[in-house]
Each structure stands twice: as C-alpha cells, then as structure tokens.
Amino acid sequence: MHKFFIIFLVSIYCSGTLSDIDPYRNLNEKTHKFNQDVDQSIVTPIAKAYRKVTPDFIEVGVTNFTDNIEDINIALNNFLQGKLNDGFSDLLRFTINSTIGIFGFFDVASSAGLEKHSEDFGQTLAVWGVKDGPYIVLPGLGPSSLRDTVSRIPEAFMTPLFLIDHDRTSYELTAIDLLDKRARYLGLETIVVGDDYLFYRDAYFQSREFEINDGLVEDDFDDFDDFDDLEFDN
C-alpha cells in the first residue's frame, strides 16, 4: 500500500514540470498564496474550533444534511450525463433521507444500500466533450479550470438553496456547508510534498479525471515494475 501512495505522490509532483495547462501561472500563484494565507489565518482556526466544540453526532448530522442537499444537483447531472439509473437512485436517496432521515440529518439511504454519487456540472460538460481549458485559481475557492469555472454559473441554479426565498437563510446554509467541508479536510495539508502550488494544481486535475471517469482511470505505472522489489517500512 505504501508503494502505491508514494508512486501517486511522485506522479503528481513530476507532472507539474511537463504541463502546459497553466498559462496564467504568475497570477495563479499569487491567488494561491492569498488563499493559503486566508485559510491558515481565518478559515482553519474556525474549522478547528467548530470541530472541537461540536459533538461528533452533531458534526456527522451536519455532514449528512449538507450531503443530502447536494443529491438533487447530483441527480440532475446524472440525468444530463445519461446515467438514468444513478439519477433515479440519487432522487430516491434524497427522498428517503429527507423524510425518514429527518431532513437528511441521518443517512438512512446509505444504510439501505443506495450509493452516494459525486457529480457536478463541470463533470457533465466534460462528458459532453468540453475540455478542461487553462488552470485557474479562484480567490477564496481554490483550484479550478476554465471549464469548471464556467460551470459554476448554471450550477448555482441547480441547487435547492437557490429556491430558498430568504437571503439570510440561504447564506447561513451556504456558510454551514463551506465550514463543514473545510472541517472534513483538516490535516490533509500534511501530505503535501514539494512545491505546494504544483502539488495542489496537479492533484486537482488528477482528482477531476478520477471523478469524470467514475474512478475508471488508466494505470500509467507500467514503468514502475521495479517497485515490486523494494521494501517499505510498515
């Protein structure tokens, strides 16, 4: 297991030197530094405080609640991609969790065997043949591409939060969602190796390829057979 993790990290780091997908690198690096500074000085301390004072069952419930809201958007994108079975499964998940699961606070659907999917309009555009385009770091939002940045516009109208006719409630739910997501990924920055800008950039494209292809990504490590002969400490 260790060797595959090391190969993955090496591939991400090395791919940064071979890429021509970042024509706005100077601006992107400045935006990346700004985001990192804001995250470390403001967002991360708030997320840590939230995790510290929030009981585990409440934190899990909030995560389930925000994930449940996303299932509507996920269902729409599955339908747009022609994945009808997944789309109907997502709608059934939302229905079960919104009723039996008390507005999604409990993830009853997963316990019933309904798989949680991950789709967005950026992935839908990719399935339709739209290329990534250049890499873009968005202020406050982080890594993106031209395609995924453009996709955020229709994406905003595909979420149930758009239907809430009360600005304060909509803003509060959005803030809760962002805080919950940041709290989930506390500590992941410790796996960053080498130049953190290159790491985040190439990890972004690797993860997007993984999501777009539903996890069916070709193995490019045929040239690493010698790793089989290496020993790693447990």
Query: pLDDT (tens digit, 9 = 90+) per residue, 97-155?
Result: 999 999 999 999 999 999 999 999 999 999 999 999 999 999 999 999 999 999 999 98
pLDDT of residue 220: 54
Predicted structure pTM score: 0.78
pLDDT of residue 175: 85
* Residues of the chain where predicted confidence (pLDDT) is lower than 50: 1-19, 221, 223-224, 226-228, 230, 232-234
- Average pLDDT of the chain to the nearest whole number: 85
- Bridge partners, 136 (sequence order): 144
The helix or strand, by DSSP H or E, that contains position 138, with its residue range, turns out to be: strand 135-138
pLDDT of residue 1: 39
Tokens 């539903």: give the residue: 214
pLDDT of residue 189: 79
pLDDT of residue 9: 41
Strands 135-138 and 142-145: antiparallel
pLDDT of residue 140: 92
